[in-house]
A and B are shown apart, each in its own frame.
Chain A
């Protein structure tokens, strides 16, 4: 995996982007964090967060012009959180609970002079004092913060100003009042003198034009100092300025503090000889990338203080803070059991998967996680930045395979099942009987054949009747399991074999009955014209006679493999209208979750797969209707009544098609083998010898379910018993009379507990392991 690509993908996930209240604040107060404390009544902790970003919390908590509230997403569901009122509450109930900030120790003494003890100047003083600089403030007036003291005490009490000034004094800031600058007389310092005594200067003289002409310090046409807004720099390299001098008569307390903060950073950089402009991208207010869907929240009005003069009471503050959602994206996690299962979100997962891929020696802790994604693509569709987690997982799987790090047990069963479908028991490629050319070829896929072999027989008959000039048949597998398992080699080989069969039939149009087959064919065999059977029905008309249908409404589940095939979804809806089948949509088109089979998730992580199915089948009480055999069978396996669209088109032999059970893994292979035998016999008139082991098995429903869960096929049970009965290599449990026998098939040792009776064998239990017995380690 490419490191840069990983970083790009991490950046696509916006969950860690700060919320709008934070990015709208010039000081980036962690408002969301404060709300989390306040809703729990943790006023001191909330105050601590506030004071971490704000230099004069008692003052700013009262008079901030709160640009944060403009970005608050709560305004989409009620009113914006009254953040300023809550800051005041945090100060009122939390002030003093945290210790005063302390100066950093620095080895090199640097001195900074500040002219003007307004909000911007004192912010510079505060920030630089914290960094261990020696700061002297020169103020022409009687007291610092004179403009604030002119405010009504109801808005800003003197006590608030005194408290914050006390903290500033405690930092060692030397404030000299009645000391105007620029009158080169007596003890009054002038700028030139200050520049020799101090390493840098900050000019915060307030809104009036700065009356001091100084060589190298340019002024704007209005007479105020020319200031670079992002840095507070002036035309003189050691003089900085901001605050009212930049804003004029418009007093924005938080903007003045911001100017002080920018200038303090600039001065500190000058003192260290660092770049003034580097890494200041997200300084000040900026729009956030964080997306928050507020549609699920019901509107709530703001909590108004009972006593407006006193502000919010503790209880009122707790209630008001509880209106914060808080803002976060998680659009994908909300929709995906897999993403939710691991407790984080894609940004973290991308990093985790990359780290897992990079481990040379040690445990690959995320192997199962990488292989538990269904690759359905819903996350990408709902992501504001379209981060493609399926691609992340699939690339990681391929890399694991390439490095020989893919755990063999994860996909072994699925790949052997695929090998069955591409092997002689099922695979076939033929022209229609009596013809030596094919205008089209039917490719029903392995899972429809495994689930409903009758539909394949009917479908093939329909196509032969409908399409002139011959319809051939290809039985096999589209290679999806290999692709999902990261086995590019096997995937390519499967398609090479399919392509060879297709070439031999004269490159006919391919008719699919499974959207995933269609997708895989279009991917690997782009030169082949491929069309779904649904489109063929739409073009040539539905077969007659049609089965009688109960007038019940179905809930329609689009297979996740049709996300990029809206034409298939459209054809299906046309057919349903024609059939007169009423359906309700489960979701917007293109947002269907996986049924739990996709990406081989059910093999790597059956628990998550079951959660995925269970969530889906819980969405609607109606019987489900789908057009993917695997989806239908997975729903049935978890107890949801479900039909396949072909059940409605061709009818079935079942009295209750929606109640048809999942055939299970053994049943799937048996159905495929029998389908091939039937087709050869019924369509091509070729009697076929039924091969296979003639061992009758009796499995209780519990044992059959255990076999499914443990991925042990009836054919494997037969093979174990047949060999034990032939060689006598079995173990007798003298307490129960049960026999235990084992046999190694491929890379698995299967054990069966059984007795011989009723002309066959009763199976009591079965299990397997991959470890080999009595083997010395391979070199």
Chain B
């Protein structure tokens, strides 16, 4: 990515800020070229939320985690994921060349688009991707109300 140093005068002298326009343009162009626009959050693990009428599916990239140690809790329309990624321990005589993979504890809470039935939530962990299926609670489902004519 190209970094452009923004001169401090632009915004003051010109009502219109060409640098901001460039930023906006860059974002739009990235969108056109198939890179999904991501929310740049430093939250771990990263999540994608897929919604349908009757349920919501949350997927999360969480490689190298013991699934039995991941704690998923649901309450109303809130989903929380808690767990930890263990660091690689060196054996005797072993030394580091590179260490890029993060480790440590994580805890995240996301708000879902609707209230879910906590008893029907299911989760699976395949190839380092966690997938949680959360069915919408019956009480929350939209109800069609028939209009009676009274004449």
A and B associate in one complex: no
Q: Report A's interface with B, CB cutoff 8 A.
A: none
Q: Report B's interface with A, CB cutoff 8 A.
A: none
